[in-house]
Chain A
Amino acid sequence: MASGIKDKVAIIGMGCTTFGERWDQGPEDLMVDAFEEALADAGIERGQIEAAWMGNALDDINVGNSALPLAHALRLKSIPVSRVENMCATGSEALRAAAYAVAAGAVDFALALGVEKLKDTGYGGLPLRTKGLANDLWMPYGSAPGSFAQLAGAYAARHGIAAADLKRAMAHVSWKSHQNGALNAKAHLRKAVDMETILKAPMIADPLGLFDCCGVSDGAACAIVTTPDIARGLGVANPVTVKAVQLCASHGWETQYGAWDGSFVANTRQAARRAYAEAGIGNPRADLALTEVHDCFSITELVTMEDLGLADEGRASFDILDGRFDRGGAQPCQIDGGLKCFGHPVGASGLRMAYEVYTQLLGRAGARQREDVNLGLTHNLGGAPFNSVAAVSILGRMN
């Protein structure tokens, strides 16, 4: 019986660049900046890194394929370096690989780095296509907002919520994240936005308006992981450890079998169940101090609150409007500003979420620091609600 990786892996250093339209930096600059921050944080020599995983989702249009761009940028000499890709869950996938390598005893120090350089490509969240193969013959290539917007209509239909009421709750999601992002020097969008502006914004994909959508950004984030024993040996008495890393991927049933009504993301529910079990969390509403979820769109965050068990089914919009997930609420969500304010450099986002939880766990979050942060959750969702990869990770202090 597998015992999971709870407390078998410690995070001893993390780095994260400022996200945004980084016209001034290439992907190699972003990787170096994130890595140098993490390396300084970890207090080890670069030569001690024994294996590295690079998360990069859109190889053809930005950084380049394979993990060689990482090896070259960081001058990682003669160590195994691999690229991982799992759509928008890529960053979490890189962390998962590095954590597993340490937990397995294969290496003492491993690096997980996620990077995406979207602004060199004119990429604006538009759909990509395969190379003329089977799926192209039938599958609709809707945009990301188009794919996630469908959650809204289906959710409203299932729970009998008026479209205007749902829209207001969605607007609160974005309003709250903009409030938070304004406090974060590394965020792309650092401006508070009022509810009226959000509600009246131009429509992108019904009912998602401009402020219901996260932006397209450049950025990189990374983590250096080791064993708790080694961390203690380095002088970290109570290291941040990985409590759980779980992943769940669609096998096609949502759009091909049964009666899924389009109002929730089944993979998030499954990944969360496993993560709570791995981490030994019985009551996530009480046990988790904060969450960083995949708020690619406001409706995604709303639905995710229920999928993670943080709100009752059909009640997330009420909890959101009540302020439960605001910075000063009972269980803040996106206290760093989230994808909403960081944008979504696809391969980096999962590690950016982990960076915030790590920062909060270590009490380094400055103006946005919460008190008593013992456990935090990241949720990183790839694909679309109807065909997704959900990653749920839980980080906490060792003791």
Chain B
Amino acid sequence: MTNLPGRKAQDIGDRFIAAIGVYAPLLRMDRQAAAKALKFSGLGGRAAGRRAVAGWDEDALTLAVEAARGVAEAPDAVIFASTSAPFIERSHATLLAEALALGADTRTNDVAGSRRCAVAALLSTLLGRGEALVAAGEKRAAKAGGAQHLAYGDGGAAACVADQGAARLIGYSSASHDMVDLYASHEHPEPYAYEERFVRETAVAHILAPAIKAACAMADIASSSIAFAAVHEPLAGCWRDIARLTGVTAPNLAGDLAQSLGDLGAAHALFAFALACDKAKSGDRILLAGFGSGCDALVFEMTGAMPGAREAAASVNSGRAFDDYVRFLSLTGSIDLDWGVRSEFEQKAQATALERYGRDMIGFIGGRDKTGNVQFPKSRIPVRPDAVGPEPLEDVRLADLPARIVSVTADRLNFTPDPPFWFGLVQFENGARVMMEFTDADAKGFAVGDTVRMRLRIKSHDHKRGFRTYFWKAAPAQRPPIES
């Protein structure tokens, strides 16, 4: 086993994770049903558990935004982490900051390069200054039949780093190591995976275990004193060997997460950390480790209840299970169905229109007129019937307000990649009302009077030009528990 040189505890200031948030999409594919569909081929990998499947209108950005909502009020910096970000040139961190209606002076940066990038960014902010929001989202492509297609899951996780909080960093260690367990590239966007036994033996012995041991050493704790682990395993089943080599006896919640939602890539370890925080009590130690081209291992000591942890734990078991493998293939882009003429819908967005209105759209900013009426979108002359001319409108964010349905339908004529197309009129509790799309319908659909909450989603997806715009859609206020 490789040994890493230790660092000293005084390298760390008093730095904390102050809040955490996670997001899993509504849909969960039953792996056993997928295995059944693939039975003829013998492909598909492990048949147990479920994987979270993003809706057609979700991507790495929207998943990260949903995770990050309410995690940080006014961070100095926003870092977006993903290996499946939709844009190469257009900052998701900037879009994320605008979606959360953060100040224009917020520092924004995107990180990528391996699924370790979110934990690496988290460590950098913990070793830095100021308040930072690290938000990860993943919707990774994988080829149908390959083990990753079912092993992966879609989701997001976010953390706020600050000088005070519920989890104090007490030790860390990093290992940079270009071990190619799998890769994806511009030329080969789906993962190309190498021999599993090679990965298990090399990654555990030469990357993960040394980093974890070094982090515990820096924290000056016995590895057996770790209460919970959130260690991103290169492959399912590695934890037993990692525990044996490091002496960590705690359960690894990242392993359970891979079973229930799938391997969430850059968001995985952070999501599992949220689950660990939910279980931990003050004084407990939590091990967080990101893996990919090396490892970042961090040890925290809990100083109180972690905001967002309880909701994170609840989110794992709420959603909608499905067993339709063809729908799964369609949602994950593995088959390209011919939707016919109805899908020939121009989706081009204009940069000039985005520049004028885009921030109000992605931030869901309406305006309050001088009488107090809130409207969306804003207009020079308010919609109020007795308005007689232009008025300045005060910005009002609608994204976080409860709302109810005034009118709705399930439109089966209009094109959507996951029919039907739900839309209708939504009334917000502050008086604003917006005709909008709906998303995340559960089995009973939507009805007049239902309460809804807002979710950031892809509004238009211009496949021809590789561009997308985002807006908010109404989703059920509550998710049902997943039926067992």
Interface of A toward B, CB cutoff 8 Å? 122, 124-127, 129, 131-134, 136-143, 145-146, 149-154, 156-157, 203-206, 208, 251-253, 255-257, 259-262, 386-387
Contact = CB atoms under 8 A, between A and B. Distances in A.
Nearest to B447: A153
Interface stretch (B100-108, B204-212, B316-324, B409-417): B409-417
Nearest to A149: B409
Contacts of B420: 205-206
B16 interface: no
A138 B356 CA distance: 13
B35 interface: no
B425 interface: yes
B433 A138 contact: no
B423 interface: yes
A138 B377 CA distance: 9
A141 B414 contact: yes
Contact of B448 (A146, A153, A253): A153
22 contacts: A126-B414, A127-B345, A127-B414, A129-B345, A131-B346, A133-B350, A134-B357, A134-B377, A136-B460, A137-B349, A142-B421, A146-B409, A146-B414, A153-B409, A154-B448, A251-B385, A256-B375, A256-B433, A256-B434, A257-B375, A257-B385, A262-B406
Contact of B407 (A126, A132, A151): A151
Contacts of A124: 341-342, 413
Contacts of B337: none
A126 B353 contact: no
Interface of B: 341-342, 345-350, 353-354, 356-358, 361, 373, 375-377, 379, 383-385, 406-415, 420-421, 423-425, 427, 432-437, 445, 447-449, 459-460, 469, 471
A146 B348 contact: no
Contacts of B408: 150, 153
Contacts of A139: 435
Contacts of B407: 150-151, 153-154, 261-262, 386
Given A153-B407, A255-B433, A255-B434, A143 B385 contact: no
Contact of A145 (B350, B384, B413, B433): B413
A200 to B, nearest CB: 16
A156 B407 CA distance: 11
B348 A132 contact: yes
Contact of A386 (B377, B413, B415, B425): B425
A154 B449 CA distance: 9
Nearest to B350: A132
Contact of A132 (B353, B406, B445): B353
Contacts of B406: 154, 260-262
Contacts of B449: 157
Contacts of B411: 142-143, 145-146, 149, 204-205
Contacts of A260: 406
B425 A150 contact: yes
Given A126-B414, A252-B383, A386-B425, A206 B436 contact: no
B349 to A, nearest CB: 5
A257 B428 CA distance: 11
A137 B409 contact: no
Nearest to A203: B412
A126 B349 contact: no
Contacts of A134: 353, 356-357, 377
Most B CB atoms within 10 A — which of A122, A131, A141?
A141
Given A126-B342, A140-B435, A256-B432, 9 more contacts: A142-B411, A150-B425, A157-B449, A205-B413, A208-B409, A252-B383, A255-B433, A257-B373, A257-B385
Contact of A146 (B354, B413, B460): B413
B354 A137 contact: yes
B447 A142 contact: no
A175 to B, nearest CB: 22
A387 B437 CA distance: 16
A256 B374 CA distance: 8
A256 B383 contact: yes
Contacts of B361: 137-138
Nearest to B413: A143
A260 B425 CA distance: 10
B423 A142 contact: yes
Most B CB atoms within 10 A — which of A150, A156, A208?
A150
A154 B358 CA distance: 32
Most B CB atoms within 10 A — which of A129, A143, A252?
A143
A80 to B, nearest CB: 33
Nearest to B382: A257
A156 to B, nearest CB: 8
Nearest to B449: A157
A11 B346 CA distance: 42
Most A CB atoms within 10 A — which of B342, B409, B469?
B409
Given A134-B357, A150-B424, A150-B425, A251 B448 contact: no
Given A251-B383, A262-B425, A150 B409 contact: yes
A226 B411 CA distance: 45
Contacts of A149: 409, 411
Contacts of A146: 409, 411, 413-414, 421, 423
B109 to A, nearest CB: 26
Contacts of B434: 138, 255-256
Contacts of A206: 409-410, 420, 445
A119 to B, nearest CB: 12
B448 to A, nearest CB: 4
Contacts of A153: 407-409, 447-448
A122 B342 CA distance: 9
A132 B349 contact: yes
Contact of A137 (B353, B385, B447): B353
B398 to A, nearest CB: 11
Nearest to B445: A206
Contacts of B425: 150, 255, 262, 386
Nearest to A208: B409
Contacts of B448: 153-154, 156-157, 262
A131 B348 contact: yes
Contacts of B354: 137
A134 B415 CA distance: 21
Nearest to B376: A256
Contacts of B375: 256-257
A257 to B, nearest CB: 5
Nearest to A207: B409
A-B pairs, 6 with minimum CB distance: A146-B411, A262-B407, A150-B407, A149-B409, A132-B350, A140-B423
A113 B98 CA distance: 49
Nearest to A254: B425
Nearest to B471: A138
